[in-house]
Structure 1
Amino acid sequence: MRITYLNLVFKSPKSLVYLLFLATSISYSQQLTLKEAHSLLLSENGEISASNFELKAVNEEHKATKSLYLPKVGASGSYLRLDEDIKVDLNPQRNMIGGLLQISNPALVLGDWNVTLQEKYLGFATADLDMVLFAGGKINAVNKASEIKYQLAETHHHLKEEELTVKLINYYFKLKLAEEALKLREEVYQTVLLHNQKATKFFENGIIPEVETLNAKVALSNAKRELLAAKKDVSLALTAIQNLIGTTNFKTVSSAFIQPTILEPLADFEEDMLSENKQLKTIQQNYKLAKVGVKVENSEYFPKVALKGKYVLWKDNLPLVDTKWFAGIGIKWELFDGFKREHQIKASKFKVAQVEQLNKQAKLNLLTYTEKLYNTLQKELEQYESLTADQALAEKLRYMRMRAFEEGTGTLLEVVDATLKLTEIKLYKIKALCQYNITYGELMVQLGKTATFLNQI
């Protein structure tokens, strides 16, 4: 933590406390640990946010599927106008009866028998109830399928988080590598600049020939060019990680590399990979979903039984409808559908077989993938240890070249070559360290141990 001290006159102790707090906050905002970067990734990245909304949508769809267990209650109503009243003219029958009864004027005695059964204006409103009582197990199967789909959506969401976490680890340590490389290039530049100044003085005093100063100037130009390139690498790596996590409120990363160590046996990692990997769990969930699909298709062989009911809430001009409610049970059974069900069941069974084969191949691919990561870690560990030994020799060689040059028995070119050789070894060492951390982080994420890895960092 760095605090910038300002030459200010404070009117009260509270002002000093506030400015110290502000300076501390500014300092913290300039650096970012990998754990902080991961938290920002989960909260700010657009792809993860979109995946989270998709998960919420699937969850609501899963809740909606549960409504199949419950009755459907609704209300309906209509108000109609017919083209004319519905009437029945019974006057001929009246006249016939009048004749039988020897009535001389049936119309006067018996009246008009032209009866209106329904006026042209009518209306009604009802409350409706529908509830499926039996569907051959389809409702249970559909709800189970919906639950598995939600679990799949959760797994896909975690896979997206893991995918971007692996990318974050890669970007983070690439930025760390670029920063370490920049420090080395700055050291080389300052060292070569110092040697260039010494060579110029030695030449002016007639100790070394002019060609040595020319070598020093060429080396200084090369060192400056490499330094400028290293600065651009840092800027590009910084932009990449800022875009990934969705914030620019930092300028450097502060988490250190994990030092390479001897790993557990490969078999332990392979066992964890087969039990914890999210890709494999996705295939296993798809297998369960395919099995449920067979049950859904089998349910089509059974009849569908439902409870239905209506209650008349209001009516107008409906003299023929005198009941207030009715209820009953309905059944529908499709006995033949042109062999559609048989083919759909076979298709569902083929999907089950397909997922079984995918699961088998996925396990083999995961074992190969785990071995690849493991071997990469072993290789980078060996490279790191070998380069550590080479670095000690290169540092000794540079020291001897510098002493020889200062004593006049060596050339500046030999000093620069020894310096560049040491820098090259350091760069290779940092690259091996970076690749080890990236690969180790990827392995831990795929094993479902992201939190463990971040805590190690």
Structure 2
Amino acid sequence: MLKKNRTSVIVFLGTFSFLFVRNVEAQTLSFSEAYSVMHKENSLLKGIEKQKEAHQYTWKAEKGLRYPTVKAFGLGLYFNRKIGADLNDFRNGVGSFLQIPNPEVLGNWDLTFVKREMAFGGFMATWPLFTGGKINAAIKAGEIRKQIGEKEFENTANKLISELAERYFQVKLAEEAVEVRKQVLLGVEHHHHNAVKLEENGIIAPVEKLQADVAVADANRELLAAEKDAKLARVALANTIEVDAVYDKLTTDFFITPQLESLEYYQEAAINNNPLLQKVELQNQLAEQGIRAKKSAYYPTVLAFGQTILVDNSPVGFGWVDHNDKPWVVGVGITYTLFEGLKNKNEIKAAKATKESVELLKAKAQKDIVTLIEKLYQEIQKHQEQITSLELQEQLATELVRVRNKAFLEGLAASTDVVDAEMNLSGVKLLKLKAHYDYATGLASLLEYAGLSNEFLQYTK
């Protein structure tokens, strides 16, 4: 028994050790992997997808307007008494007048018009044959709404790629900034160590060592602030991809594309592919169908109809129902509105005004997006040029730190000179990181408005 318990403990400890190793082992998360999680889990995307699905089913429902409608009907009645007339006395009088010995040969003249219990049922069908184009317009409008739903889904998906780029590379920026702050702290701590030694040997004044103390304190404070920013950036990223937390190491680095396409390429792509512009065009088409639907009121409506009674227990001879033959009727009906207070005329004018409004908004939206793409394109180029320039500045700033530290040890530079050199180097590094971040997010926005957001995923593989 003891041996069995010991074996269980060993197995448990072994399992715990395996799980612990897996937990402490660093996991990785690329941009493409983050996108896959977001595309699967994001509630906003799921909600828009359900709206798109609703538009599809609504369109299918409107297509049913072309087909006949068949309905079953039934009715049951109960009266507190039957309605009829006993004419047997009148029959007897007629028999006497005609000198008939037995008036009963004339039959039973006790007639029932309505029994206490009555029920009947059957089927009826209607089929629109001509509606002046109203049904065609309704079906086409449903198809357009379905397409609008698809464009709304595409637009949301593109926006989420841009948002993911912003949040993902915000984490990269924040964590790279933490590393820069750590390097600054190491640099000023090294300088502080030198300052302490030089002060002890009477080579520098105490104020120089005090300046080194302040530099270390400032570097510590900025490092703590950078670490908090990094934690907050991960919370934002987790919110975008809708997971509880992101503890993984982000493996997709900042990048520079070898060469962008021409400005005209992205502007033309926007006109052809931007979901918002395509949505406006579809709304224009939808307004056109609204005009056609209103104009259909000027035409008559023609429909076929039919009805049959299958079940009936009304009195024999009452109405036109014959129990020995199931009645049915078929026919064609036509309706035409002669006057409705100019309602339809004004509705047509309203539909035309809506179409004209959509056309004007479409033209304005195209100009705005083309202008925005030019702005984003120029900004991306500026960020790329800035990165190139900052790389040279970083080389100079690194060399300046080395020279200032050497000069300080030789008594040729003050403590502030060394600290300033360290701050200058860290500032250049942070500017370069920010330029990389602006480049990545700017490119994501450019591709979003050009309707090419999926291309961003190719740059981040």
TM-score (ref. length: structure 1): 0.89
Task: Show CA shifts across 1:288-335 (max 9, x none).
Answer: 100111111111122222222223332223423114132222222222
Give 1:262 shift: 5.0
C-alpha distance in 2, partners of 1:293/1:318?
52
C-alpha distance in 1, partners of 2:205/2:302?
107
Task: Show CA shifts across 1:149-189 (max 9, x none).
Answer: 01101111111222222222111111111111111000000
C-alpha distance in 2, partners of 1:308/1:171?
62
1:452 aligns with 2:455: yes
Of the candidates 242, 245, 258, which is equivalent to residue 246 of structure 1?
Answer: 242
- Tell me the equivalent position of 2:198: 202
- Tell me the equivalent position of 1:84: 81
Q: Which moved more, 1:76-85 or 1:218-227?
A: 76-85
Indicate the SS of the match to 1:351. Answer: helix
Q: Which moved more, 1:255-264 or 1:395-404?
A: 255-264
C-alpha distance in 2, partners of 1:372/1:118?
84
C-alpha distance in 2, partners of 1:273/1:129?
50
Give 1:136 shift: 1.4
Q: Which moved more, 1:254-263 or 1:34-43?
A: 254-263
- Tell me the equivalent position of 2:283: 286
Of the candidates 251, 255, 258, which is equivalent to residue 255 of structure 2?
Answer: 258
AA aligned opposite 2:154? H
Of the candidates 231, 238, 245, which is equivalent to residue 235 of structure 1?
Answer: 231
Of the candidates 270, 288, 305, which is equivalent to residue 302 of structure 2?
Answer: 305
Please say if residues 32 and 250 of structure 1, whose CA atoms lie closer than 8 Å, have aligned partners that are also in contact: no
Indicate the SS of the match to 2:397. Answer: helix
Residues 332-411 of structure 1 aligned to structure 2 (within 5 Å):
332-411=335-414
Q: Which moved more, 1:106-115 or 1:154-163?
A: 106-115
C-alpha distance in 2, partners of 1:58/1:85?
54
Q: Which moved more, 1:415-424 or 1:124-133?
A: 124-133
Residues 411-430 of structure 1 aligned to structure 2 (within 5 Å):
411-430=414-433
Where does the alignment leave 5 or more consecutive residues of structure 2 unmatched?
1-9
Residues 181-220 of structure 1 aligned to structure 2 (within 5 Å):
181-220=177-216
Where does the alignment leave 5 or more consecutive residues of structure 1 unmatched?
1-10
Indicate the SS of the match to 2:63. Answer: helix
Please say if residues 127 and 304 of structure 2, whose CA atoms lie closer than 8 Å, have aligned partners that are also in contact: yes
Indicate the SS of the match to 2:255. Answer: coil
AA aligned opposite 1:239? V
Residues 28-39 of structure 1 aligned to structure 2 (within 5 Å):
30-39=27-36
1:47 aligns with 2:50: no
Judging changes above 3 Å, is the alpha-carbon distance between structure 1 residues 70 and 36 closer, same or farther for their aligned structure 2 residues? same
Please say if residues 260 and 433 of structure 1, whose CA atoms lie closer than 8 Å, have aligned partners that are also in contact: no
Task: Show CA shifts across 1:96-148 (max 9, x none).
Answer: 74575367x99778576342233221111212222222211211111110010
C-alpha distance in 1, partners of 2:253/2:23?
21
Judging changes above 3 Å, is the alpha-carbon distance between structure 1 residues 308 and 318 closer, same or farther for their aligned structure 2 residues? farther
Task: Show CA shifts across 1:245-302 (max 9, x none).
Answer: 1112434422111126553332222111111111100100000100111111111122
AA aligned opposite 1:337? E
- Tell me the equivalent position of 1:442: 445
C-alpha distance in 1, partners of 2:440/2:105?
112
AA aligned opposite 1:79? G
Indicate the SS of the match to 1:117. Answer: strand
1:171 aligns with 2:174: no
AA aligned opposite 1:425? V
AA aligned opposite 2:171? L
Please say if residues 280 and 362 of structure 1, whose CA atoms lie closer than 8 Å, have aligned partners that are also in contact: yes
- Tell me the equivalent position of 2:150: 154
C-alpha distance in 2, partners of 1:428/1:65?
58
Q: Which moved more, 1:45-54 or 1:86-95?
A: 86-95
Please say if residues 70 and 126 of structure 2, whose CA atoms lie closer than 8 Å, have aligned partners that are also in contact: yes
Please say if residues 185 and 220 of structure 2, whose CA atoms lie closer than 8 Å, have aligned partners that are also in contact: yes
1:130 aligns with 2:126: yes
Q: Which moved more, 1:184-193 or 1:317-326?
A: 317-326
1:120 aligns with 2:116: yes
Judging changes above 3 Å, is the alpha-carbon distance between structure 1 residues 25 and 388 closer, same or farther for their aligned structure 2 residues? same
Indicate the SS of the match to 1:191. Answer: helix
1:59 aligns with 2:62: no
- Tell me the equivalent position of 2:7: none
Indicate the SS of the match to 2:125. Answer: strand
C-alpha distance in 2, partners of 1:278/1:39?
21
Please say if residues 260 and 381 of structure 1, whose CA atoms lie closer than 8 Å, have aligned partners that are also in contact: no
Task: Show CA shifts across 1:370-421 (max 9, x none).
Answer: 1111121122122222222222221221121122122332233211111111
AA aligned opposite 1:205? N
Task: Show CA shifts across 1:189-241 (max 9, x none).
Answer: 01111211121122223332222211110100010011011001101111111
Q: Which moved more, 1:392-401 or 1:325-334?
A: 325-334
Give 1:349 shift: 1.0
1:327 aligns with 2:323: no
Give 1:23 shift: 5.8
Judging changes above 3 Å, is the alpha-carbon distance between structure 1 residues 296 and 348 closer, same or farther for their aligned structure 2 residues? same
AA aligned opposite 1:135? T
Q: Which moved more, 1:255-264 or 1:132-141?
A: 255-264
Please say if residues 87 and 114 of structure 1, whose CA atoms lie closer than 8 Å, have aligned partners that are also in contact: yes
1:69 aligns with 2:73: no
Indicate the SS of the match to 2:356. Answer: helix
AA aligned opposite 1:403? K
Give 1:27 shift: 4.5
C-alpha distance in 2, partners of 1:211/1:260?
49
Please say if residues 94 and 106 of structure 1, whose CA atoms lie closer than 8 Å, have aligned partners that are also in contact: no
- Tell me the equivalent position of 1:270: 267
Let me know the Cα RMSD of the aligned residues. Answer: 2.7
Indicate the SS of the match to 2:364. Answer: helix
